[in-house]
Amino acid sequence: MATSRGHVLELSGREVVITNPDKVVFPEAGHTKLDLIRYYLSVAEGALHGVAGRPMVLKRFVKGIGQEAVFQKRAPATRPDWVEVVELHYASGTSATETVVRDEAGLAWVVSLGCVDLNPHPVLSEDLDHPVELRIDLDPVPGVAWPQIVDVALVVREVLTDAGLSAWPKTSGSRGVHVYAPIDPSWTYPQVRLAAQAVAREVERRAPALATSRWWKEERHGVFVDFNQNAKDRTVASAWSVRATHDARVSTPFGWDEIDDVRPGEWTLATAPERHAAGDPWAGMDATRGSLEGLLGLAERLGPVDKPPKGAGRRTVTMPLIEIARARTKSDALAGLESWKGKHPDVVPLLEAADILVDGMRGSSSLWYRVRVNLQHVPEGQRPEQSELEIDHDPWAGYRGAQRRR
């Protein structure tokens, strides 16, 4: 219903006002904010399964997906009185009163704020210290084909099964795969992260040519088994979340029996509702919660993690890296990279896809982008020296918070 206040939806016994309902969020696909909200309502059962009762970071694309998102931990001060919040405390000594979604009205409200994907913490608001799931993010380096990601996902499943846990896969909504393992809420964040790290190390041990658990990006190959998404301050786009891609891809659950037929771009805002209507592959997930004892035992058997060598106050870089750009947006960062390439035409053909390192870095409230080049495949005598950055953006300029860094 359209009113002077905006488009009003009657959901869960409440009125939700949708401001700017006709605002185009996905320019290439032509999807508006109201289209996005209607999508979430069409998959509400599955979407709420992943977010209901959990504190959520609001990742707001206030200017559409063509601009960087703003990460808002604190719930808006002006909000409907029915919107729940809960206070999370972090090791840094900071805290944040975060939004908790319970129903369809909550879903519509956060999307109306500019959220495209939903980013809940892995805990319930009733117990903020004990996660209810372990999350593994399979992140392929550039150039890795989908069949290799599938092979690594199957090894992850094998490791989790051997440890007595069930494994539930979904597409990331980009190029990778997320695998969740439901757990009893009996384990602390450090224990869950240690268990996830053990999964990554064991996957690397079983499939060293396909996967890596190496933390430093320049040392990775194949598929990075990212275990750090289990740290207390991390969130992951939940199941049935639409991602900020040009084709509005959806992070979609699937069954292990169909993994060979899955393609990353298959499910979108337009096609995922039909799949959800046929049955959510994650519907039985909550009944499979298990113990971390098996993985913590594995971590003990694997022994201490090799730590990178330290230099004078910082780690010793083991690869011949040069930094190209620090930029506010990804497009600016890539423009800086192209400028550098134009200055070094003899070097560019020697680089492999994985040698170009583009990192989305968390700033005070939004992402900024760093570009580095690994010169490992360039003969030593032909390697360019580190020079002034093509773009030198300081994401912490004017910020005096405890986490300021350069």
Residue pLDDT, tens place only, 285-330: 999 999 999 999 999 999 988 765 444 445 567 788 889 899 888 8
State whether 161 and 82 are in the same domain. Answer: no
Q: Judging by DSSP bridges, how do beta strands 223-226 and 211-212 pair with one another?
A: parallel
Rounded alpha-carbon distances, angstroms, from residue 317 to 374, 377, 387? 11, 16, 17
pLDDT score at 376: 87
pLDDT score at 406: 38
pTM above 0.75, yes or no: yes
Is 159 a member of any domain? yes
Residues pairing with 190 in the sheet: none
State whether 137 and 109 are in the same domain. Answer: no
Average pLDDT over residues 54-83: 92
Is 381 a member of any domain? yes
Q: Rounded CA gap, 86 and 334, in Å? A: 39
Signed CA dihedral, 360, 405, 118, 288: sign only? positive
State whether 183 and 298 are in the same domain. Answer: yes
Q: Rounded CA gap, 347 and 166, in Å? A: 47
State whether 157 and 294 are in the same domain. Answer: yes
Does 13 score more than 70 pLDDT? yes
φ, ψ for residue 390, nearest 5 deg: -65, -35
Does 5 score more than 70 pLDDT? no
State whether 145 and 204 are in the same domain. Answer: yes
pLDDT tens by residue, 375-406: 888 998 889 999 999 989 887 776 555 444 43
Across the chain, what does the average pLDDT equal? 90
State whether 6 and 104 are in the same domain. Answer: yes
Does 336 score more than 70 pLDDT? yes
State whether 114 and 151 are in the same domain. Answer: no
State whether 114 and 221 are in the same domain. Answer: no
Domain that holds residue 378: 321-392
State whether 107 and 203 are in the same domain. Answer: no
Average pLDDT over residues 271-297: 96
| Domains contained in the chain, number | 3
Is 312 a member of any domain? no
Is 282 a member of any domain? no
Contact 54, 284 (CB under 8 A): no
